[in-house]
C-alpha cells in the first residue's frame, strides 16, 4: 500500500542549525574579531589602534615566526609518526577479548585523567638534571643529563611527553572502531590461511581508514594550536629551540602584550592548520559519503 | 587450516558452560574478531605499561611526601615518611567547592555539545543541502582555531551578555570549541551506518525525527561515548576560559584551584600532586563505575 | 543517572547565574583590592582590609590570582566594568604602562597632604612608583633585593671564605670545580635568573645610570659598552664551567635549584631574598642548622658602579584604579594602612622586611633576625635600588630581552647581537 513515490527522507539544514548558530557566536565571530585585531596594535588596555598592515609586514621579518613554523611542522610530523602507529597497534590490540587486555588498557587510559599542568610538572621533575632520572642514567651510561636544556634533546623530550599525554585518547578512538570490525571478515581471512600480521594489514588497517583520518586530522591541527605542554615543560627553550609557533603567538599576546601582532600570528596558524586539515581530508577522500561496511 | 588458532585457555573454559545467551555467542564470535597472538604488540604493550606506571607512581608517591625532602631523595624512591599533610592542604584550599564547580561545567558542556552536535552530524552525513556542506567546512575551520587567540573577543562577548563570573560563562565557550572535534567524531561514527538502513526506514514511512531517534541515536553510541569522554575531560582540565571568565572563589574550578599551590616564587609540589590525585579520582571512579556501559557502548557495532 | 545529572546541572546553573560584573551592584561604598596569590601576605592584607572596613563603615574585599594569571587578568580587567579599586603591581615599567593608559590615580596630592605617610617609606623604594615625577603607587610588602647565597657547610669543608670581590669569585669557581661541586647554581631554564647576573654586572661596571638610560627609553642605551662587557663576563662564567653542565634545564620553581644549594651539590646561588622562604619550604633542616649564608654581590675592582648598589624587586605596590567609583575611600585606605604600625608589624611577623624607615629594632626580634637585619641594612644603605629589568621595561621588550638573554648564555647569540636586537625594541 506504499505510494508509488518513495522519497528518501533526508534531514534538512535545520538539523544543523543549532550547532551552526551556537558555533557561529562563540567560535566563528571571535575568529573574525581576531582577524580584525591583526590590523591593530593593542596591549589589552584601552582601545585597539588602527595599524594597517604593520603587523603583517613585521611577520616575514620576525625570525621567530619562520623558525616557529619549522619547529611546529617538525613537531607535527614527529608526533604523527610516533602516535599514530602506536595508537593503531595498541588500539587494535586492546580491542581483543582477552581479559588482561581490558585491565591493561584501563591503566593506559589513566594519563587522560591528568591535566596538562600535572603532566608537565611530573615530567619536569622526572627529567630534572640533578635529581631526576637523567641524573641516574647519566651515572650509568655517561650520557648527558641535560635533557630539557639541550636544544636537540628538548624537542624529543616534548615529543615523548606529548606521546604520553595523548596516546590514550587516540588509542581509545582506534579501540572503539576496531571493536566494530565484523568478525566475519577475520573468519574469512583465517579460512583463507592469512597470518595474524596479514590479517592486521589487510583487514584491520583498511577498516580503520576513517578513524585513521579523523585521528590524523585531530593530531595535525592539535599540533598547530596546542602549546600548553611546551609552555610548561620548556617555555620554548632552551633559548628558542622548542618555540613552536602557537607558543610564540601566546608569548607575544600575553607576555609581551602585543595583541595585534599575536592576532596576526593566530590568523597565520588558523590558515596553515585549516589548509593542512583540508588537504588531508581531500587527499584521503574522507568527504565521500561511503562507508567501508557497504555490502557486508 | 584449522580454524582453532591459539585461543587462550580461558576461552576454552567459557565455551564449555551451557546456556548460551545471544550476547554470549556474540562475544565468542567476537573473540575471533581480532585474534592477535602477535607477541610484538604484547611486548610493546608491556613496555608502554611501564612507561605509564612510572610517572603515575611518582605522582602518588610525591603526594604522600612531606614537602621537605621531595627532591633530594630521588623521584622514584619510596617516601621515607608517608604523610597525608599534602591532602589536608588540598582540602583546606577549598577542594570540594572546586570539584563541584568542575562537575557542573563538565556536565553542562557535555549535554550542550551532544544536544547540538548529534542532529548536526546526522545532517552532515545524510543531507544533500549545500548549507550543510558549507557548515561542515566551517566546523573543520574551527578545529584549527587556538582558544588563546580568541579569548579576548570571547571575554567581551561574555561581559556584554552579563554572564561574567558564572559557570555558564565557562560552559558556553568550552562547548563551542569542543564542537568541531565532536562533530568530526560523530560523523565518522555515523558514516559507518550503511545507507541501506536509512533508506529502509524511510521506505517504511519514517520521518526524519523517527530516523534520528530510532536509528541514529542507538547506532552512534560509540561516538557519543567518545565525545562524552573528550568533552568531559576537556571541560575538566580547561584552564584558560575559567581564568579569564570567572573571578570569585564561588565559581573557581579545579584547574584554577590547582594553581593555588603555585606562588610567585615556587611551587608546593606535594600539595599540587595531592590536588591532582584528588581531582583525578572522581573521573577515575566514573570510568571504573561506568566501564561496563562504556564497553557495551563501544562494542555496540553493527557486526553480525 | 542522567536524570539526577540534569537536576544537579539545573541547580548549579541557577545558583551560578552570572552578573554583569563585580562592583556593579553594591550600594554601600566599597574597596575591592586585587593582588597576587601569596598566602602569608594575603592574610596580612586581608586583616588590614577588615580593620579598615570596620572602622570606615564600608565593604572591603580582597581578590587574589596566581602570578602569571594575575598579570593577564589585570591587563584585561583594567578599563572594563569588572575592575578593582586598588590593584597590585610591580611599579616601574609595569606601572608605567597603566599610567600611560590613564588607568591610575595620581597620588602626589595625597602624599603632600600626608607628609608623615610619604616620609615613612624608604625613598629608594618609594621612587620606583614615581612615574614622570608623580607618585602612582604605595609600597605594600617587603623589600626583595638580590643577594648572593652560599652553603656555609660546603665553604667550611673546602676551607674558603665567601667572595667580596669579583676576582675572588672567579678563584672560588676554579676551586669548587676541582672539588666536583657546581660553583654557582643557575636555574637557566628560567631566563630571569640569568638576568640577575646581567643586572649586577652592568651596575658594577658602569653604575646604575646605564640601566636608567634604558628605562627612560634613550636611544643607543642598549649599546652601552657596560652591557656588552657584562654579557661577555656572563659568557666567560659559562665557559669556565661556573654554572655546571646542566644549568639550562635546571628550574627554580619546583625547588630544584634551592635543593642543589642545600644538598651541597652547589656552592653559591644568586637569588632574591624570597629564597629564604623557598628554603624553609623545601629544605628546612638546611636552614635550621644555620648553613644558609648570604652576602652582598661582590665588588668589581675596576668598575665605575658603587659596590653598595643593589638590584632586585624594591617592593610591590598598590595603586588606585582611575575608573573606580570609590577613589577617595581607596586612597584613604592606603594612607591609613600601608605605613601603620599594625600593618608593618604583621609584615615583619611573616618574615618580610618592609620598606619603612626606622624598624631596625623590630627586625632584631624576628626569627631570622640576622638575615632580616642584613637585608634591611643592605637596602637602607644602598645608593640605588635598580628594579628587575623585566619589570622596569615595557612587557614587549622584556619578553624579547629574556629570550635573547637565554640565547647569549647558551652561546647562540653574541653580546653585540643582543644589543642590536634590544635597540630595535626601543
Residue C190's closest chain B neighbor by CA?
B265
Tens digit of each residue's pLDDT (9 = 90 or more) over C335-381: 989 988 999 999 888 878 999 988 888 888 888 888 999 999 999 88
Residue C399's closest chain A neighbor by CA?
A256
Q: Which of A156, A54, A166 is nearest to A116 (CA)?
A: A166
B74 and B109 co-located in one domain: no
Residue B189's closest chain A neighbor by CA?
A177
* Residue A14 domain-assigned (yes or no): no
Look at residue B220 and tell me whether its pLDDT is greater than 80: yes
A128 touches chain B (CB under 8 A): yes
* Residue A58 domain-assigned (yes or no): yes
A60 touches chain B (CB under 8 A): no
Q: Are the Cβ atoms of A237 and C189 closer than 8 angstroms?
A: yes
Look at residue A279 and tell me whether its pLDDT is greater than 70: yes
Chain C residues with beta carbon closer than 8 angstroms to that of A258: 396
- Residue B303: band (very low, low, confident or very high) from pLDDT cuts 50, 70, 90: very low
B113 and B252 co-located in one domain: yes
Query: Min CA distance, A120 vs chain C (Å)?
Result: 12
* Residue A295 domain-assigned (yes or no): no
A268: which 3 cell numbers?
Answer: 597565520
Q: What is the DSSP letter of B34?
A: T
- Residue C193: band (very low, low, confident or very high) from pLDDT cuts 50, 70, 90: very high
Specify the CATH number for the domain of residue B107.
1.10.3720.10
Looking at residue A285, its pLDDT comes to: 66
B190 and B138 co-located in one domain: yes
Looking at residue B20, its pLDDT comes to: 38
Tens digit of each residue's pLDDT (9 = 90 or more) over B24-62: 434 343 344 444 455 677 788 889 999 999 999 989 888
The pTM assigned to this predicted structure is 0.80
Q: What is the extent of the structural domain holding A96?
A: 48-284
Distance of CA C352 to CAs C78, C144, C338, C376, Å?
A: 29, 9, 14, 10
Of B248 and C332, more confident: C332
Looking at residue B22, its pLDDT comes to: 38
* Residue A156 domain-assigned (yes or no): yes
Give percent above pLDDT 70 in chain C: 92
Tens digit of each residue's pLDDT (9 = 90 or more) over C129-164: 988 889 999 999 999 999 999 999 999 999 999 999
A46 touches chain C (CB under 8 A): yes
Tens digit of each residue's pLDDT (9 = 90 or more) over C370-405: 899 999 999 988 888 899 999 888 888 999 999 999
B264 and B177 co-located in one domain: yes
The CA distance from B242 to B101, in Å, is 11
Q: At C307, is the secondary structure helix, strand, or coil? A: coil
Chain A residues with beta carbon closer than 8 angstroms to that of C245: 144-146
Are C79 and A46 spatial neighbours (Cβ–Cβ below 8 Å)?
Answer: yes
C280 touches chain A (CB under 8 A): no
Looking at residue A275, its pLDDT comes to: 82
Looking at residue C331, its pLDDT comes to: 92
Instruction: For chain C, give the mean pLDDT.
Output: 87
Q: Are the Cβ atoms of A251 and C399 closer than 8 angstroms?
A: yes
B118 and B261 co-located in one domain: yes
Looking at residue C423, its pLDDT comes to: 92
Tens digit of each residue's pLDDT (9 = 90 or more) over A122-179: 898 888 888 888 888 888 887 788 888 888 889 999 999 999 999 988 888 888 788 8
Strand partners, C387: C312
Interface predicted TM-score (ipTM): 0.80
Instruction: Give CA angle at A283 (A282, A286), nearest 5°.
Output: 55
Looking at residue A287, its pLDDT comes to: 55
Which domains, ranges and CATH numbers included, belong to chain C?
30-143+315-357 (3.40.190.10), 144-312+387-423 (3.40.190.10)
B175 and B225 co-located in one domain: yes
Pairing of strands C86-89, C30-36: parallel
B107 and B247 co-located in one domain: yes
B106 and B56 co-located in one domain: no
The CA distance from B285 to C4, in Å, is 17
Boundary of a domain, candidates B83, B115, B143:
B83
* 141-200 of A, contacting B, C-beta below 8 A: 164, 167, 169, 172-173, 175-184, 186-187, 190-191, 193, 196-197, 199-200
Query: Min CA distance, C98 vs chain A (Å)?
Result: 8
Among A15, A31, A82, A160, most B C-beta atoms within 10 A, so best to mutate, is A15
Q: What is the DSSP letter of B255?
A: H
Are A29 and B153 spatial neighbours (Cβ–Cβ below 8 Å)?
Answer: yes
Tens digit of each residue's pLDDT (9 = 90 or more) over A173-231: 888 788 878 888 888 888 888 887 888 888 888 888 878 887 887 788 788 778 888 98
End-to-end CA distance of chain A: 30
Tens digit of each residue's pLDDT (9 = 90 or more) over B174-186: 999 889 888 988 8
Chain A residues with beta carbon closer than 8 angstroms to that of B185: 173, 214
Distance of CA B246 to CAs A2, B163, B285, C82, C183, Å?
A: 58, 9, 28, 11, 46
Specify the CATH number for the domain of residue A221.
1.10.3720.10
Looking at residue C2, its pLDDT comes to: 40
Look at residue A295 and tell me whether its pLDDT is greater than 60: no
Residue A265's closest chain B neighbor by CA?
B149
Q: Are the Cβ atoms of B67 and C252 closer than 8 angstroms?
A: no
Among C67, C249, C266, C407, most A C-beta atoms within 10 A, so best to mutate, is C249
Looking at residue B32, its pLDDT comes to: 43
Chain C residues with beta carbon closer than 8 angstroms to that of A44: 75-76
Q: At B27, is the secondary structure helix, strand, or coil? A: helix
* Residue B24 domain-assigned (yes or no): no
The beta-carbon neighbor of C412 closest among A46, A239, A257 is: A239
A131 touches chain C (CB under 8 A): yes
Tens digit of each residue's pLDDT (9 = 90 or more) over B73-128: 666 777 777 888 888 888 887 788 888 999 999 999 999 999 999 999 988 888 88
A285's CB contacts (< 8 A; 6+ apart) are none
Among C12, C22, C141, C264, most B C-beta atoms within 10 A, so best to mutate, is C12
Angle between helices A151-178 and A63-94 (to 10 degrees): 40
B74 and B101 co-located in one domain: no
A82: which 3 cell numbers?
Answer: 610516533
Instruction: Give CA angle at B294 (B288, B297), nearest 5°.
Output: 165
Look at residue B246 and tell me whether its pLDDT is greater than 90: no
Considering its fold, how many domains does chain A have in total? 1
Chain C residues with beta carbon closer than 8 angstroms to that of A123: none
Chain B residues with beta carbon closer than 8 angstroms to that of A126: 54-55, 58, 75
Look at residue B304 and tell me whether its pLDDT is greater than 60: no
- Residue B274: band (very low, low, confident or very high) from pLDDT cuts 50, 70, 90: confident
Query: Min CA distance, A256 vs chain B (Å)?
Result: 14
Instruction: Write the burial class of residue C68 (CB in 10 Å: 0-12 exposed, 13-18 middle, 19+ buried).
Output: middle
Q: Are the Cβ atoms of C67 and B104 closer than 8 angstroms?
A: no
Sign of CA dihedral C50, C56, C60, C62: negative
Q: What is the DSSP letter of B214?
A: I
C89 touches chain B (CB under 8 A): no
The beta-carbon neighbor of B184 closest among A89, A121, A214 is: A214
Considering its fold, how many domains does chain B have in total? 2
* 68-87 of A, contacting B, C-beta below 8 A: 86
Cα atoms in the Cβ-side hemisphere of radius 13 Å centred on B250 = 14
Chain B residues with beta carbon closer than 8 angstroms to that of C67: 262-264
* 2-31 of C, contacting B, C-beta below 8 A: 5-6, 8-9, 12-13, 16-22
Q: Are the Cβ atoms of C246 and A149 closer than 8 angstroms?
A: yes
| DSSP symbols for chain A | ---S--PPP---GGGTHHHHHHHIIIIIHHHHHHHHHTTEE--SSS--EE-TTHHHHHHHH-HHHHHHHHHHHHHHHHHHHHHHHHHHHHHHHHTS--HHHHHHHHHHHGGGGS-HHHHHHHHHHHT-TTTSHHHHHHHHH---S-STTSHHHHHHHHHHHHHHHHHHHHHHHHHHHHTTS-HHHHHHHHHTT--HHHHIIIIIHHHTHHHHHHHHHHHHHHHHH--HHHHHHTTT-STTTT--HHHHHHHHHHTS--HHHHHHHHHHHHHHHHHHHHHHHHHHTTTS---TTTT-
Of B240 and C149, more confident: C149
Looking at residue B293, its pLDDT comes to: 62
Looking at residue A3, its pLDDT comes to: 46
B78 and B131 co-located in one domain: no
The CA distance from B103 to C5, in Å, is 10
Q: At C364, is the secondary structure helix, strand, or coil? A: helix
The beta-carbon neighbor of C80 closest among B101, B107, B159 is: B159
B73 and B99 co-located in one domain: no
The beta-carbon neighbor of A45 closest among C78, C249, C413 is: C78
Q: Are the Cβ atoms of C395 and A130 closer than 8 angstroms?
A: no
Looking at residue C14, its pLDDT comes to: 36
Are B142 and B179 spatial neighbours (Cβ–Cβ below 8 Å)?
Answer: yes
Q: What is the extent of the structural domain holding B44?
A: 38-83
Instruction: Give CA angle at C89 (B255, C53), nearest 5°.
Output: 85
* Residue B240 domain-assigned (yes or no): yes
- Residue B163: band (very low, low, confident or very high) from pLDDT cuts 50, 70, 90: confident
Of C226 and C280, more confident: C226
Query: Min CA distance, A27 vs chain C (Å)?
Result: 20
Grid cell 618574615 is found at C351
Tens digit of each residue's pLDDT (9 = 90 or more) over A18-62: 999 999 898 888 888 888 989 998 876 667 889 889 999 999 989
Chain A residues with beta carbon closer than 8 angstroms to that of C102: 46
Q: Which chains touch C (3 or more CB pairs under 8 A)?
A: A, B
Look at residue B13 and tell me whether its pLDDT is greater than 60: no
End-to-end CA distance of chain B: 24
* Residue B292 domain-assigned (yes or no): yes
Amino acid at each position: 500500500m506504499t505510494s508509488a513515490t518513495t522519497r528518501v527522507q533526508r534531514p534538512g539544514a535545520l538539523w544543523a542549525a543549532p550547532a551552526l548558530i551556537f558555533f557561529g557566536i562563540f567560535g566563528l565571530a571571535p575568529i573574525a574579531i581576531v582577524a580584525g585585531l591583526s590590523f591593530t596594535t593593542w596591549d589589552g588596555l584601552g582601545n585597539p589602534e588602527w595599524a594597517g598592515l604593520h603587523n603583517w609586514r613585521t611577520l616575514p621579518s620576525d625570525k621567530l615566526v619562520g623558525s616557529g613554523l619549522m619547529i611546529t611542522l617538525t613537531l607535527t610530523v614527529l608526533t604523527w609518526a610516533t602516535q599514530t602507529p602506536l595508537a593503531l597497534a595498541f588500539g587494535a590490540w586492546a580491542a581483543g577479548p582477552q581479559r588482561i587486555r581490558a585491565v591493561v588498557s584501563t591503566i593506559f587510559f589513566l594519563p587522560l585523567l591528568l591535566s596538562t599542568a600535572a603532566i608537565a610538572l611530573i615530567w619536569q621533575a622526572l627529567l630534572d638534571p640533578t635529581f631526576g632520572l637523567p641524573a641516574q642514567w647519566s651515572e650509568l651510561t655517561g650520557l648527558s643529563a641535560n635533557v630539557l636544556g639541550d636544544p636537540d634533546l628538548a624537542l624529543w623530550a616534548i615529543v615523548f611527553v606529548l606521546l604520553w599525554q595523548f596516546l590514550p585518547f587516540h588509542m581509545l578512538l582506534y579501540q572503539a572502531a576496531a571493536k566494530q570490525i565484523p568478525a566475519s571478515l577475520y573468519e574469512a581471512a583465517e579460512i583463507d590461511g592469512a597470518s595474524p600480521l596479514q590479517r592486521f594489514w589487510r583487514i584491520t588497517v583498511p577498516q580503520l581508514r576513517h578513524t585513521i583520518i579523523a585521528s590524523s586530522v585531530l593530531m595535525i591541527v592539535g599540533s598547530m594550536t596546542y602549546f600548553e605542554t611546551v609552555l610548561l615543560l620548556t617555555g620554548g627553550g632552551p633559548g628558542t629551540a622548542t618555540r613552536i609557533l602557537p607558543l610564540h603567538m601566546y608569548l607575544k599576546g600575553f607576555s609581551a602584550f602585543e595583541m595585534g601582532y599575536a592576532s596576526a600570528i593566530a590568523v597565520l596558524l588558523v590558515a596553515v592548520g585549516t589548509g593542512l586539515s583540508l588537504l588531508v581530508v581531500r587527499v584521503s577522500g574522507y568527504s565521500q559519503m561511503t562507508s567501508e561496511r557497504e555490502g557486508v | 587450516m584449522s580454524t582453532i588458532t591459539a585461543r587462550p585457555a580461558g576461552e576454552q573454559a567459557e565455551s564449555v558452560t551451557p546456556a548460551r545467551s545471544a550476547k554470549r555467542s556474540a562475544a565468542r564470535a567476537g573473540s575471533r574478531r581480532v585474534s592477535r597472538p602477535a607477541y610484538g604488540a604484547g611486548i610493546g604493550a608491556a613496555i608502554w605499561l611501564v612507561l605509564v606506571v612510572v610517572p603515575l607512581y611518582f605522582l602518588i608517591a610525591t603526594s604522600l611526601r612531606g614537602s621537605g625532602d621531595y627532591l633530594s631523595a630521588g623521584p622514584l624512591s619510596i617516601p621515607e615518611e608517608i604523610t597525608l599533610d599534602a591532602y589536608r592542604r588540598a582540602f583546606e584550599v577549598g577542594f570540594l567547592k572546586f570539584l563541584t564547580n568542575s562537575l557542573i561545567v563538565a556536565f553542562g558542556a557535555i549535554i550542550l555539545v551532544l544536544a547540538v552536535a548529534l542532529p548536526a552530524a546526522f545532517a552532515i552525513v545524510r543531507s544533500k543541502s549545500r548549507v550543510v556542506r558549507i557548515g561542515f567546512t566551517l566546523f573543520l575551520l574551527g578545529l584549527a582555531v587556538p582558544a588563546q587567540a580568541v579569548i579576548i573577543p570571547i571575554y567581551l562577548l561574555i561581559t556584554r551578555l552579563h554572564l561574567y563570573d558564572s559557570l555558564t560563562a565557562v560552559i558556553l565557550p568550552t562547548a563551542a570549541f569542543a564542537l568541531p572535534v565532536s562533530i568530526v567524531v560523530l560523523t565518522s561514527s555515523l558514516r559507518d551506518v550503511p545507507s541501506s538502513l536509512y533508506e529502509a526506514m524511510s521506505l517504511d514511512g519514517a520521518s526524519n525525527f523517527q530516523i534520528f531517534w530510532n536509528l541514529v541515536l542507538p547506532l552512534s553510541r560509540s561516538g557519543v561515548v567518545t565525545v562524552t569522554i573528550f568533552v568531559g575531560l576537556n571541560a575538566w582540565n580547561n584552564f584558560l576560559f575559567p581564568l579569564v571568565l570567572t573571578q570569585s572563589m564561588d565559581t573557581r574550578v579545579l584547574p584554577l584551584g590547582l594553581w593555588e599551590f603555585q606562588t610567585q616564587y615556587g611551587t608546593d609540589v606535594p600539595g599540587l600532586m595531592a590536588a591532582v590525585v584528588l581531582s583525578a579520582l572522581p573521573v577515575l571512579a566514573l570510568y571504573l563505575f561506568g566501564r561496563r556501559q562504556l564497553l557495551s557502548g563501544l562494542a555496540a557495532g553493527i557486526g553480525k | 543517572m542522567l536524570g539526577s545529572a540534569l537536576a544537579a546541572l539545573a541547580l548549579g546553573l541557577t545558583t551560578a547565574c552570572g552578573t554583569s560584573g563585580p562592583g556593579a551592584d553594591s550600594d554601600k561604598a566599597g574597596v575591592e583590592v586585587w593582588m597576587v596569590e601569596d598566602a602569608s601576605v594575603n592574610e596580612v592584607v586581608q586583616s588590614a582590609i577588615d580593620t579598615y572596613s570596620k572602622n570606615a563603615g564600608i565593604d572591603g574585599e580582597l581578590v587574589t590570582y596566581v602570578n602569571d594569571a594575575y598579570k593577564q587578568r589585570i591587563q584585561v580587567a583594567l578599563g572594563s566594568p569588572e575592575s578593582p579599586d586598588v590593584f597590585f603591581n610591580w611599579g616601574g615599567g609595569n606601572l608605567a604602562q597603566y599610567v600611560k593608559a590613564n588607568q591610575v590615580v595620581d597620588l602626589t596630592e595625597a602624599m603632600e597632604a600626608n607628609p608623615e605617610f610619604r616620609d615613612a617609606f624608604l625613598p629608594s623604594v618609594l621612587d620606583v612608583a614615581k612615574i614622570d615625577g608623580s607618585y602612582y603607587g604605595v609600597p605594600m610588602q617587603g623589600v626583595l633585593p638580590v643577594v648572593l647565597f652560599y652553603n656555609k657547610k660546603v665553604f667550611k669543608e673546602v676551607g674558603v671564605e665567601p667572595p667580596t670581590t669579583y676576582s675572588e669569585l672567579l678563584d672560588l669557581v676554579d676551586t669548587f670545580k676541582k672539588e666536583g661541586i657546581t660553583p654557582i647554581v643557575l636555574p637557566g631554564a628560567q631566563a630571569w635568573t640569568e638576568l640577575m647576573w646581567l643586572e649586577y654586572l652592568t651596575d658594577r661596571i658602569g653604575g646604575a645610570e646605564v640601566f636608567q638610560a634604558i628605562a627612560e627609553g634613550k636611544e643607543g642605551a642598549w649599546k652601552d659598552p657596560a652591557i656588552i662587557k657584562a654579557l661577555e663576563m656572563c659568557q666567560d662564567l659559562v665557559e669556565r664551567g661556573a654554572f655546571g653542565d646542566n644549568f639550562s634545564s635546571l628550574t627554580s620553581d619546583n625547588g630544584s635549584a634551592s635543593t642543589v644549594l642545600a644538598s651541597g651539590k652547589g656552592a653559591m646561588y644568586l637569588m632574591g631574598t624570597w629564597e629564604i622562604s623557598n628554603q624553609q619550604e623545601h629544605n628546612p633542616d638546611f636552614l635550621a642548622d644555620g648553613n644558609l649564608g648570604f652576602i652582598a654581590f661582590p665588588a668589581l675592582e675596576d668598575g665605575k658602579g658603587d659596590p653598595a648598589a643593589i638590584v632586585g624587586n624594591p617592593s610591590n605596590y598598590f595603586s588606585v584604579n582611575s575608573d573606580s567609583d570609590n577613589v577617595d575611600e581607596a586612597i584613604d585606605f592606603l594612607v591609613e594602612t600601608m605605613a601603620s604600625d599594625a600593618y608593618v608589624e604583621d609584615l615583619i611577623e611573616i618574615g618580610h622586611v618592609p620598606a619603612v624607615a626606622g624598624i631596625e629594632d623590630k627586625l632584631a626580634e624576628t626569627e631570622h633576625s640576622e638575615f632580616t637585619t642584613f637585608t634591611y641594612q643592605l637596602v637602607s644603605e644602598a645608593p640605588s635600588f635598580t628594579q628587575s629589568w623585566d619589570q622596569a621595561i615595557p612587557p614587549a621588550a622584556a619578553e624579547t630581552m629574556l629570550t635573547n638573554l637565554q640565547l647569549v648564555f647558551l652561546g647562540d647569540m653574541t653580546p653585540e647581537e643582543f644589543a642590536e636586537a634590544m635597540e630595535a625594541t626601543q
